[in-house]
Amino acid sequence: MPDTNNLGNILQRLESLEVKASFTEDLLDQLNMTIYQQQQLIDRLTHEIIALRQQAPEGGSNGPRNLRDELPPHY
């Protein structure tokens, strides 16, 4: 016959584990939501980069560059 002190200790430990499991599930849900939002952002930025590449001229320039156009603004 188990004594009540030992049984109470086991029940307390079980309750503690259930609370920890509940917090762990909540944290996992939050992390999953963060990952989902980050993936949406990555997808949106990828589409923006593709659109910008399509707008840029092929090869990055339209002909020979003039060095005067590349002077820093303080000149």
Query: For the chain, percent helix, then strand, then coil, each to nearest 5?
Result: 80, 0, 20
Is it the case that residue 57 has pLDDT exceeding 90? no
Can you give the pLDDT at residue 4? 82
Can you give the pLDDT at residue 53? 92
Please report, in angstroms and rounded to a whole number, the separation of the first and last CA atoms in the chain: 94
In the predicted model, what is the mean pLDDT of residues 35-44? 98
More confident residue, 57 or 37: 37
Can you give the pLDDT at residue 24? 98
CA dihedral of residues 9, 15, 18, 24 (deg, nearest 10): -90
